[in-house]
Structure 1
Amino acid sequence: MTALIFFMIVLAYLGGSISSAVLISRLYRLPDPRSHGSGNPGATNVLRTGNRSAAVWVLLLDIMKGTLPVYLGWFLEIGPLYLAFIGMAACLGHMFPLFFHFRGGKAVATALGTLLPLGMDMAGLMMLTWLVCLGLFGYSSLASLLTALVAPLYVYFIKPEYTLSVSLLSCLIILRHHGNISRLYHRQEKPIIDRFKKEDKDEENSAER
C-alpha cells in the first residue's frame, strides 16, 4: 500500500504539472498567460484575453487534473488522509509544474476537482459560494479565498472524515494567494466583473454602429 500511495502522489503531481492554460493558449494562438494580464496561468487569466471558449477548456482540464487522481485513489481504497496528499500533489503540480519551469497558477480549479469525488453536493456548494462571492465583490481572487475558508466547514457537516484533508488543501490555496491578499489589502487588485461588463457594453455599442 505504501508503494501504491507514493506512486499515486507522484502521478498526481506529474498530471498537475501539465499546464492547461499554456497549452490551450498555444492552441488558440493567444498570449502566454504567464506573461499576460495577471501572469497567472489559469482560466481567469485566459478569460482576460476575451476568448471565453479557451477559458472554459482551461477550467475543465484544470478540474480534471484534480478529479482523476483523487477518484482513482478513492477507487483503490486509499484512506482520506492519503487522498489529501494526492490532492495536494495535484495542486502543487499545478502551482509548480515540472514541465513549465515551475511557473504555475493558484490551483483553485484543480482543488475544486479534488473535491468532486466527495460528491456533487460538496462541489455544488463550492461553486455556488465562489459565484455568489464573485457577484457580490467582483474579485476572482477574493471569491477563491472566501470559498477556501468555508470549504472545511462544508465538509465537516457533509463528510466529516475528510475535514482534515480539505483543511490542508484550503491552507495551500490561501498561502498561494499571498500576493492577491496584499493587493486586496492595499486596494490594488483589479476586479474581473467590471472589466467584462465594460467589454460587453463596448461590443453592444460596436454592434449598434
Structure 2
Amino acid sequence: MHGTVHLQPSLFDDTDRGGVRLGPLDGLRRQPLGDGAWLDLLPGWLHGADELFEQLATTVPWRAERREMYERTVDVPRLLASYPAHAEPPHPVLGLARAALSDHYARELGEPFRTLGLCYYRDGRDSVAWHGDRIGRGAREDTMVAILSVGEPRTLALRPRSGGTTVVRHPLGHGDLVVMGGSCQRTWEHAIPKTARPVGPRISVQFRPHGVS
C-alpha cells in the first residue's frame, strides 16, 4: 500500500495572483531527437499548478488496474483515469489547454487534440516502463502526444528504439508542458522510472488526437 504523501508547494506557484490559468505557448522550445522525432518543452505553462493538482487528486475517479506480466497478475504502479472526446474534462482549464494546443499545432498536426488521459504517480514507487504510444495510428504515422504535469517533478526519460546509450531526461512537474511529436512514438521509447529518492506525488495529463493511444 502507498502511504499518504502530501504535495510540497512550489516556490514558483502563484495561485494567490490569479488562480489556475495558462500562460502563452510562444515560449515552446523544440529539441530534435533524431529519426524524425522531436520534443517541444515549456516549463511552467500552467500557473496555479499546485491548486490544480489538489483538485484533480481529490475529485477525479481514479482507478487501479491489474495486468498480466510474466505469467502472473500484478498491480499497475500508478492510478489512471480517462476522458473521451465527448466527456467534460475534470477541470475547465484542461479544456482550455486542449483548445490552445489544438490551435497552436493545427497546421503541423492537421487535426485537434481530443482525448484526455491522466496518470497519478503517488510516490517514487509508482512508474511506467519503457514504451511508445503505438496502439492505433501512432504505430504507423507521425503524430503528437502532449503532456501537462502538475505536482512534484518526476523524470521523463526517452531512448531510441534502435538501441544505443543515448537517454534524454527531463524532470516534469509544477505546470510543465512537453509535446512528443514527429516519429517519436515509433522511433523512441519513453518511461517514468522508479526512484528511491523521497519524492512527492505527480499527476500527468496526456492530450491525444483521435485514434492515438
Q: TM-score, normalised by structure 2?
A: 0.28
Larger radius of gyration: 1
Higher relative contact order (CA 8 A, sep 6+): 2
Higher helix share: 1
Q: TM-score, normalised by structure 1?
A: 0.28
Higher strand share: 2
